[in-house]
C-alpha cells in the first residue's frame, strides 16, 4: 500500500491547491484550533458538542453516502456517500444516472439521501433518484435529517419507508430497509412505532448524546449507531478514539452494528448559517481509510458526495447545486471550478480491500 499512500498524498495536494481560496478565508479559525480550541468534541473526546449539530442546519435532501458489502465477515458492510438532495433539487433523470454511474465506477454500493422534513423537493427528487437507481441496479436509502427543518413527523417517515421499501433500488440488510438519521434523539420513542410498522434496520446518528447515552436512549430500538466524528481535533492527526468507544459499547450491548464516517476534509465559509471554519485535512483521506481497514466496521459512510458548501464533496461539480453559497451569504463560490474528482480514483482499491480483504 506504500505506493497508494503517495497517490493519495499527491491527490490531496492537488485538491488543496484548488481549494486554497477557501482555506485562506479560515486562517483565523485554524489558528484558534492550533492553540487548543476545538468546536467538535467535548473534553472527554467521546461526545459531539451541540454547536457541532447546528453545522448541518442548511442541509436538506442530497448528501450521498457510500455503502459497500464486505465478504470478510458474516455481517453486511457498506460504504455509502452522503448526498444532499437540496443540492440535487434541479437534477434531471440524466443527472441522477450520471452520478450513479460515477459512484458505481468507484465501487460504491448505495447513496444515502439526506432528506429534510417538509421539503417540497423530496417527492419529485426521490422519484427521479429511485427511477435512475433501479435502471442502473444501484441502491439508495434514507437518512432523515432532524436538524435542517426541524423534527420529522413520524407519519411522514412511515409513509416514505412504506412507499419505497419494496422498491428493488432500496438498500436492505437481510430484507430490512436500511434507515439512518442526522440527529433526532429527542424523537427516539417514535421509532418504536416506526420500526413496528416498517420493519426497518435502524442506525441513527445521535452523536450529540455520546455513545453511552445514545445506547440508553435507543435500547431495544437501534440496530447500531453512527458516529459523526470524522475530522481531527485541532492540530492533531485523526485517531480512532471515538470509533473505539462506539465499537466497545456496541459489542457489549449485544453486538450491535457500527457505521464509521470517512471524509477528506471540512472547510466552510457560510456566515448566513453562522459557519466559518476549517478542520485539518492534510493526509486525512488516506489516514482515515487506513483506520477503516484496521477497524473494519460494519458500515462506512463517506461525507460527502455533493455538499459543496462544506468543501468535502467527492462527487462531480453540478452547476445547479450551489444554492447554499447564496442563502449562506458566502463571500464567493469557493466550489465552482474546484473539482474533487481525484479523490474517487483510489476508492475501487480501498473499497475492494475493505470488502474482500484485498484490492483485487
The C-alpha torsion from 141 through 144 and 148 to 152, rounded to 10°, is 150
Asked if residues 103 and 111 have their Cβ atoms less than 8 Å apart, the reply is yes
Kindly tell me the sign of the dihedral angle through the C-alpha atoms of 100, 103, 109, 115: negative
What does the alpha-carbon distance between residue 143 and residue 159 come to, in Å, rounded to a whole number?
14
Q: Determine the pLDDT at residue 9.
A: 36
Q: Determine the pLDDT at residue 77.
A: 53
Q: Determine the pLDDT at residue 81.
A: 63
Q: Determine the pLDDT at residue 62.
A: 35
Q: Determine the pLDDT at residue 234.
A: 85
CATH number of 55-356: 3.20.20.80
The grid cell for 304 is: 460527502
Chunked into runs of 10 residues, the chain (360 residues) has average pLDDT values of: 36 38 36 36 28 26 42 44 70 95 95 94 95 97 95 98 98 97 97 98 97 96 96 91 97 95 96 92 95 96 94 94 94 97 96 82
Q: Determine the pLDDT at residue 152.
A: 98
Amino acid at each position: 500500500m506504500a505506493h497508494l499512500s503517495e497517490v493519495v498524498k499527491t491527490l490531496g495536494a492537488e485538491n488543496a491547491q484548488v481549494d486554497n481560496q477557501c482555506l485562506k478565508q479560515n486562517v483565523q479559525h485554524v489558528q484558534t484550533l492550533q492553540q487548543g480550541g476545538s468546536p467538535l468534541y467535548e473534553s472527554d473526546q467521546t461526545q459531539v458538542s451541540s454547536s457541532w449539530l447546528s453545522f448541518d442546519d442548511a442541509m436538506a435532501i442530497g448528501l450521498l453516502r457510500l455503502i459497500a458489502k464486505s465478504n470478510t465477515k458474516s455481517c453486511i458492510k457498506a460504504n455509502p456517500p452522503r448526498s444532499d438532495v437540496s443540492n440535487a433539487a434541479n437534477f434531471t433523470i440524466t443527472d441522477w444516472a450520471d452520478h450513479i454511474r460515477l459512484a458505481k465506477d468507484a465501487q460504491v454500493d448505495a447513496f444515502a439521501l439526506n432528506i429534510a422534513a417538509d421539503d417540497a423537493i423530496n417527492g419529485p427528487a426521490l422519484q427521479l433518484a429511485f427511477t435512475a437507481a433501479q435502471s442502473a441496479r444501484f441502491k439508495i436509502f434514507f437518512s432523515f435529517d432532524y436538524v435542517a427543518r426541524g423534527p420529522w413527523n413520524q407519519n411522514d417517515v412511515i409513509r416514505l419507508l412504506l412507499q419505497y421499501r419494496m422498491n428493488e433500488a432500496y438498500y436492505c440488510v437481510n430484507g430490512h430497509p436500511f434507515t439512518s438519521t442526522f440527529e433526532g434523539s429527542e424523537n427516539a420513542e417514535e421509532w418504536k412505532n416506526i420500526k413496528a410498522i416498517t420493519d426497518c434496520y435502524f442506525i441513527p446518528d445521535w452523536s450529540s448524546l455520546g455513545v453511552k447515552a445514545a445506547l440508553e436512549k435507543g435500547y431495544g430500538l437501534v440496530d447500531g449507531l453512527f458516529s459523526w466524528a470524522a475530522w481531527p481535533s485541532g492540530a492533531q492527526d485523526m485517531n480512532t478514539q471515538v470509533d473505539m468507544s462506539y465499537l466497545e459499547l456496541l459489542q457489549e450491548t449485544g453486538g450491535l452494528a457500527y457505521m464509521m464516517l470517512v471524509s477528506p476534509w471540512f472547510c466552510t465559509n457560510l456566515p448566513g448559517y453562522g459557519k466559518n471554519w476549517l478542520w485539518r485535512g492534510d493526509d486525512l483521506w488516506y489516514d482515515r481509510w487506513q483506520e477503516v481497514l484496521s477497524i473494519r466496521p460494519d458500515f462506512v459512510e463517506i461525507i460527502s458526495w455533493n455538499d459543496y458548501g462544506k468543501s468535502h464533496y467527492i462527487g462531480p461539480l453540478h452547476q445547479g447545486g450551489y444554492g447554499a453559497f447564496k442563502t449562506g451569504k458566502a463571500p464567493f463560490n469557493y466550489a465552482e471550478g474546484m473539482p474533487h474528482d481525484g479523490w474517487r480514483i483510489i476508492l475501487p482499491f480501498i473499497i475492494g480491500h475493505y470488502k474482500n480483504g484485498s484490492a483485487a
